[in-house]
Copies of this chain bind each other. A is one copy, B any other.
Amino acid sequence: MVHVIKIGGNIIDDELKLDDFLNRFAKLKGPKILIHGGGKLATSLAKDLAIDQQVIEGRRITDTETLKVTTMVYAGLVNKTIVAKLQAKSCNAIGLSGVDGNSIQSVKRNDLTIDYGWVGDVESINTGFLQHLIDNGMVPVISPITHDGKGNLLNTNADTIATEVALALSETNEVNLRFCFEKLGVLTNPELDGSWLRILDRKEYEYLKDQQIISKGMLPKLENAFRASELKVTRVEICHADYANEQGESFIGTQIL
């Protein structure tokens, strides 16, 4: 079983939480891949540099200056900080952006109504390269910066990358895809931490969406999770970072069916 773990921004922003999560991730046995977002660091750096940020429906509009900021923060500071910490925990991590070894190629989003700028939608995963790394005991740590094969970097959604990486590896592996964040799973009441669902299927998801019980920010994550689950990935879960490495009875989270 290959573990593909996505870790969200709220954990990355907090040094203690990140360290705690990385301890758990390092303990996870067998082949594994970590995909990280960037958190609020990119936003605060852009602010310090007086680069206006525009976010439409949860997606950051990425002009040239914002692309530089996200590349510096995601592919540079966040990625290398995580890899250094994992190396210190005897986990042979290798930080990758989509450019490295052509691991993730994407295509610049062409939206007729909104110009997202340097935003990429995943087009292909270099499965052979990632498989080769994990077969050799390495642990890829992937930042959400990809490229178009024409020399341009593209800012890409980290949940989508996790989904596509999990799907690509599912061709020849059992894969467990986990989206880890700061909640216990999919909540039926955002005000109640204890209201997490143990399982969620498409039908119930559509119902919760219609009732506007599932909050807006969760929708893209859940669309990714259902895509992974329905197409090929063995097991897809949404859970708290504290349960990233838990298996069986001791695992808490929402399994996507």
Bound-state Cα–Cα, A256 to B97, Å: 37
Interface status of A76 (Cβ within 8 A of chain B): yes
Contact with B along A96-112 (1 / 0, CB 8 A): 11011110000000000
**Which chain B residues lie closer than 8 Å to A88 at the CB level?**
149-151
Bound-state Cα–Cα, A99 to B75, Å: 13
Interface status of A80 (Cβ within 8 A of chain B): yes
**Which chain B residues lie closer than 8 Å to A152 at the CB level?**
84
Whether B87 contacts A102 by the Cβ 8 Å rule is: yes
Copies in the complex: 2
Which of B75, B101, B102 lies in contact with A75, CB distance below 8 A?
Answer: B75
Bound-state Cα–Cα, A81 to B96, Å: 13
Whether B102 contacts A92 by the Cβ 8 Å rule is: yes
Q: Taking CB as reference atom, which chain B residue is nearest A102?
A: B87
Whether A87 contacts B151 by the Cβ 8 Å rule is: yes
**Which chain B residues lie closer than 8 Å to A200 at the CB level?**
none
Whether A151 contacts B94 by the Cβ 8 Å rule is: no
Interface CB pairs A-B, < 8 A, 24: A45-B72, A48-B48, A49-B49, A68-B77, A71-B80, A72-B73, A72-B76, A73-B76, A75-B75, A75-B76, A75-B79, A76-B77, A76-B80, A83-B97, A84-B99, A84-B151, A84-B152, A85-B151, A87-B151, A92-B101, A93-B99, A93-B100, A93-B101, A94-B100
